[in-house]
Amino acid sequence: MGGSFDPVHFGHLLAAQDAYEQGGLDRLVFVPAAQAPLKPDVVQSTPEARLAMLRASVAGDDRFAMCDYEVRRGGMSYTIEAVRYLKTQYPGDDLLWVIGADQVGQLPQWHQIGELVGLVGFIVLARPGWEGAAAQTPAIPGLRLNWCEGHQVELSSTEVRQRVARGLPVDYMIPHKTVEYIRENSLYRQK
């Protein structure tokens, strides 16, 4: 499950749990992007800070693992490169990439999508406002989509950042360890 996770919030974690359970996964690996190509100016904290918040949020949960490949590599993060790396780490495993329903229509824009669909299937999570996404599935040869119903939480990292910037509490939106990390590192404060 890739993403910016700036910061990780309960919507991300519920989505991960839903994908894990409904997808019948052995493990769900979070892959924080160094820089997402389709969100070039949105990320506000460093890749290392986002990785640390995510790592703290899922610590002790054996269902979840962390892959810091994209953060270590730096630069623009393309899913195909992370998947190639994960194939070396989990040879012989059937890999599935978790995306939100809002991303289905953008798949043709993904870097080297033709090769990517040959390496992974996709678990597509329902998202608020994206109920008709299945009808807009792009015609990409070999594309395998596994639709996943689950918790549709109307929560975004943008909203969390805005609340922090305004000095409002975010305690019931993000894990407590993430709240502490944001406070200790003065993230998302208005300049």
Q: What digits encode the pLDDT tens for the residues 150-166?
A: 788 888 999 999 999 99
Judge whether 191 lies within some domain: no
Residue 133 vs residue 89, higher pLDDT: 89
Structure tokens at 126: 């329902």
* pLDDT category of residue 126 using cuts at 50, 70 and 90: confident
Judge whether 64 lies within some domain: yes
CATH value at residue 73: 3.40.50.620
Q: What are phi and psi of 65, to 5 degrees?
A: -130, 170
Across the range 107-119, mean pLDDT stands at: 95
How far, rounded to the nearest angstrom, does the alpha carbon of residue 4 sit from its chain's CA centroid? 6
* pLDDT category of residue 142 using cuts at 50, 70 and 90: very high
Torsion from C-alpha of 78, 129, 123, 49, nearest 10 degrees? 50
How does pLDDT run across 11-68, given as a tens digit for each residue?
Answer: 999 999 999 999 999 999 999 998 877 665 666 888 899 999 999 999 999 999 999 9
pLDDT at 120: 97
Judge whether 188 lies within some domain: no
Judge whether 190 lies within some domain: no
Across the range 104-129, mean pLDDT stands at: 91
Q: Using only the alpha carbons of the chain, give its radius of gyration.
A: 16
In what helix (H) or strand (E) does residue 71 lie, and over which residues does it extend?
Answer: helix 69-73
Cβ atoms of 32 and 70 within 8 Å: the answer is yes
pLDDT at 72: 92
How does pLDDT run across 56-76, given as a tens digit for each residue?
Answer: 999 999 999 999 999 999 888
pLDDT at 133: 62
Judge whether 16 lies within some domain: yes
- The whole-chain average pLDDT of the chain stands at 90
Structure tokens at 62: 């054996």
Across the range 90-96, mean pLDDT stands at: 94
Judge whether 189 lies within some domain: no
Domain count, the chain: 1
188 pLDDT higher than 60: yes
Tell me the residue range of the domain where 60 lies.
Answer: 2-183
Judge whether 79 lies within some domain: yes
Judge whether 26 lies within some domain: yes
DSSP string across 127-147: -TT-TTGGGG----TT--EEE
